[in-house]
Each structure stands twice: as C-alpha cells, then as structure tokens.
Amino acid sequence: MSGLDGELPGLGELLTNAHVLALPMVTRFRGITVREAMLLEGPHGWTEFSPFLEYGDDEAAAWLAGAIDFGWRAAPSSRRDAVRVNATVPAVDPDEVPAVLARFPGCRTAKVKVAGADQTLSQDVARVAAVREELGPEGRIRVDANAGWSVDAAERAIHALAPFDLEYIEQPCESVDELAEIRERIAYLDVPIAADESVRKASDPLAVAEAGAADLLIVKAQPLGGIHRVLDLTARTGLPVVVSSALETSVGLAMGVHLAAAVEGLDYDCGLGTAALLAADVTDTPLLPVDGLIPVRRVVPDARLLAGGAASPERRDWWIERLARCLDVLSVPRPAE
C-alpha cells in the first residue's frame, strides 16, 4: 500500500522536529475555515502529514506514507524546473469571482467547485459564467463536482455547463460504474471526464482506468502514498494526469510540485496553487503562482511562522496520537498490489 522502500522511521524519529499547525483560510473551502496540518523533518527535508480530520486511520495512513516518502526518500529527477498551475474557485457568489482569481496571477486555467450540498445548479452556472467572463474566451475552465451528483443530475448539469467550453469535469459521480455511464451518455458533448476520488479513495486505484470510466486522472502525492507510488500507478494506467493538491501548506505543496516535475507528459495545468487559499502559511516565501507558474523547490518553514500558527496543546496531542496509529497501520505487511 505505502510504496515505501526499506524500514519505516520510528515514532520517536518522526516526532523529533514535529509541528502541528492550525492555519486560517481566506474563504471557506471544502467546508473548513481552518486547515490543520503536521509538519515533519526527515533526512531529505521537510514534509507534511495532513489528512482531513474526518478520515479514518486506514485512509490517513496513505497520507503518512506520502509524508515519509518525501521526507525520508530522495525525490525523483525533475523533467522541468517550474510547473504551470490553475486557479481554484470555491463555491462563492459570482461577484466574488474576480477577487478569487486575482489571487492566482498569470493563471490561464480555473478549476471551479460545483455540486455543493448547499448550492443549486443555477448557482453553479452563474459562478462558471462569471469565471468565463473574467478569463475571456481563451481561458480554460474545469469544474469539480467532488462526486456530488447522481448520473441523471450530472447529465443535466453537464448540459447546462457545456456552453462555457469546459476543459473537463472532475468526478461528477461517486462510483466507477457511474463514471463510466455518464462518460458514455455525454460522449457527443466532447467534455472529458476526470477521476479523482475514484483513484485516491479506491481499494484498487487502477480500476477506473481498466473500466474505461475516465479520460484523465487527478493524482495527489500525499493521499496516494507518495511521489514514487503515484508515478508507478500513472505509468500503469497510460492515461494523462493532472497533479493536484490536498489543500496543504507550502511544505506539502512542494511534494506535489516535485511529483508534477517528474511526470513524463504534463499536458494540463496542475492544481497546485492552493497556497493562495490560506490566510497564513509556514514560510515567508510560499509556493504561490507567479505568471501562472510555481517553481520546483523544497520549502523550509520559518520558526516564527511555525510558532504563530501552532495548534493548541490538545490538538497537538490529537495529531500525535493519530500519527502513531497510522504508523501502526503502515507497519502491518500488506499484500503486493
């Protein structure tokens, strides 16, 4: 499962220079206003363990594998020294869209969140229309439903959104079978289907490709167990990929940027500009887009910002206990994939 080589570091080694943070968001995103994360320092540099709070230990253990992979194993060789990234537009009102896009200077692509439980289709359409107006006809728009629609609802929504010239639609439905069905239903509209949750939350990450249920894959370094495991998975699928973030600090984003730098073919802008959604970060030089690009580099957190963003003692204890449980999960031998 982990894709790690050699022995795992022990709990004491992981905690030698561990910091638990609670960082405010610029706007509510994915239902949260404060992002909690744990930073660790390995022999190859700083890394991040930040599964979302609601995830169970089995799922969160993959995130720990990703953190260990980046901190305790050398990153693969880079094929590029910078990565082009997209803007990310949360479920905001249309009049807020210009301010959101302004946080992503030079980005030619925007990913727009749709299908929220507290949003209607007409609100989604209005938001995407505002993004199209702001980007102009040459801009690229992709929408992310986070598996929020049934197949019938997805069909209606894609019909309503297709006039805005979508680059692709990400995870319109939950299951692989549903993705395959909606992909067949809308084939004539020429709107590609991207799979995210069907890859990173699946017991078999290859199933979506084997079922012909997606045109491309969204891959995230930390949730999928690390850079090396993702590169192996994507090579086996043969599908194009978009490297995206999991709302990490700049330390965690560096992991995704190194993954994107190592991908052989990178035809799409990557979802790695999300440091712009944080009101505070762990470095004075965060991985923010400049001219639509993010450089390939590791991030060293600033001691002052680590102290300023430190979580409460209770939350620190919670994360340490979670780390220990996830390390136990990784320590149990798993069948080879």
**Are 112 and 142 spatial neighbours (Cβ–Cβ below 8 Å)?**
yes
- The upper half-sphere exposure of residue 79, i.e. CA atoms within 13 Å in the direction of its Cβ, equals 8
Please give the Cα distance from 146 to 70 (Å, whole number): 26
302 a known binding residue? no
Q: Select from 309, 262, 222 the least CA-distant residue to 25.
A: 309
Contacts 24+ apart (CB under 8 A), 230-239: 230/259, 231/76, 231/259, 231/262, 231/263, 232/3, 233/199, 233/205, 233/206, 234/263, 236/206, 237/206, 237/209, 238/209, 239/209, 239/214, 239/215
Catalytic residue among 220, 229, 258, 316: 220
Digits of tens for pLDDT over the chain (337 positions)? Answer: 344 566 899 999 999 999 999 999 998 887 899 999 999 999 999 999 999 999 999 999 999 999 999 999 999 999 999 999 999 999 999 999 999 999 999 999 999 999 998 999 999 999 999 999 999 999 999 999 999 999 999 999 999 999 999 999 999 999 999 999 999 999 999 999 999 988 877 778 789 999 999 999 999 999 999 999 999 999 999 899 999 999 999 999 999 999 999 999 899 999 999 999 999 999 999 999 999 999 999 999 999 999 999 999 999 999 999 999 999 999 997 655 5
Grouping H, G, I as helix, E, B as strand and the rest as coil, residue 85 is: strand
Could you name the CATH architecture of 11-74+303-331?
A: 2-Layer Sandwich (3.30)
Domain ranges of the chain: 11-74+303-331, 82-295
Catalytic residue among 35, 84, 113, 200: 113
| Both tokens assigned to 329 | 């999960």
What pLDDT does residue 135 have? 97
pLDDT in tens, 263-284: 998 999 999 999 999 999 999 9
Determine whether 113 is an active site residue: yes
196 a known binding residue? yes
41 a known binding residue? no
Q: Select from 228, 181, 168 the least CA-distant residue to 208.
A: 181
**Tokens 């994915």 map to which residue?**
30
Question: In this structure, which topology does domain 82-295 adopt according to CATH?
Answer: TIM Barrel (3.20.20)
Please give the Cα distance from 78 to 249 (Å, whole number): 21
Determine whether 220 is an active site residue: yes
Parallel, antiparallel, or unpaired: how do β-strands 45-49 and 32-42 relate?
antiparallel
**Are 2 and 65 spatial neighbours (Cβ–Cβ below 8 Å)?**
yes
What pLDDT does residue 6 have? 66
Residues 6+ apart with CB under 8 A from 109: 85, 86, 87, 139, 140, 141, 142, 167, 268, 269
- The upper half-sphere exposure of residue 199, i.e. CA atoms within 13 Å in the direction of its Cβ, equals 34
